[in-house]
Amino acid sequence: MKVAPTIEELRTNLKSHHADNQLIGFVPTMGALHEGHLALVDKAKESSDTTVVSIFINPLQFNNAQDFSTYPQTLESDLELLEKRGVDVVFLPSKEELYPMQPSLSINFGPLERTLEGEFRPGHFSGVGIIVSKLLNIVKPHVAYFGQKDLQQVAVIQTLVRDLSIDVKIQVVPTVRESDGLAMSSRNLRLTTQERKAARLLYQVLNFCKIELLAGRDWLTTRQEALQMIRHESLASMEYLELVSTYSLQKQEKFEPEQALSLVIACFIGEVRLIDNLPVNL
């Protein structure tokens, strides 16, 4: 496994792969890798000749300085995991090289920007859009892999690729969960034992809502009951629980079985902000 700490080294490493027309699969990450990331790596390995993973904690997508400074960093074990998984190249760029100065560009994703994560984390998606554009420009993969856990991020990246005609296929990989249903996330590392137990609540709430909706209950009543479940957990503090269109992420007031809809949740457990989602009808 090659480790490329600069853009030039990455490009040199990939030159012959590009020249031989090898299929390059790319998994961008912020490190603190878990089975969710490794599922993306496995998918990339399955269908690519060369698999590239980047690790970069992108300051531009954090609207909260504390969230940025406490984001888990586990570089040594990340590299071990990637080596074991058979990754070909790991790109480890520095902040100085990627952002020699504060970018003057910002990206507005329209209605996607004003709902859910966009509402609670102003500027977040612009930061994601800028770093993903940069990484796709540098790596030039044929396919890039993203987790369904970040449903709105997937929609943002699909918009980016479509609107800028970037020559890459975006492949979405299903969420990987712990045995009690908690979606895998690097932020789970920051939960205390008690908070970790309480964190199951997110998936329980999503499942409760899904079962109720599929049984014909209306969304507004179901939502009220779900909010009540969350109020009973003293470690939990809700940001949003919504029924949304799976592709546009716009909020829905009614469950329409013939539309592709998903339930989305963002909730603090203690100091840790967690998000999750569940498709209601595929």
Coil, strand or helix: which one is 188?
A: helix
C-alpha torsion 90→94→100→102, nearest 10: 100
Answer positive or negative: Cα dihedral of 215, 220, 221, 224: positive
CB nearer ligand PAF, residue 153 or residue 222 = 153
Q: How many chain residues interact with ligand PAF (CB under 6 A)?
A: 10
Out of 40, 132, 138, 151, which residue is the one contacting ligand PAF (CB under 6 A)?
132
Q: Is 36 in the site for ligand PAF (CB under 6 A)?
A: no
**Phi, psi of 269, deg, nearest 5:** -115, 110
In the numeric block, which tokens belong to residue 208? 């409760």
Q: Is 58 in the site for ligand PAF (CB under 6 A)?
A: yes
- CA separation for the pair 47, 44 (Å, rounded): 6
Q: Is-catalytic flag, 142?
A: no
HSE value, Cβ hemisphere, 13 Å, CA-based, for 228:
8
Q: Is 93 in the site for ligand PAF (CB under 6 A)?
A: no
The catalytic position among 17, 34, 37, 142 is 37
Of the candidate spans 23-31, 82-90, 193-201, 243-251, the one that interacts with ligand PAF by CB under 6 A turns out to be 23-31
CB of 36 to ligand PAF, least distance (A): 10
Amino acid at 24: I
Q: Is 112 in the site for ligand PAF (CB under 6 A)?
A: no
Catalytic site positions: 37
Contact residues: ligand PAF, CB under 6 A:
28-30, 58, 61, 128, 131-132, 150, 153
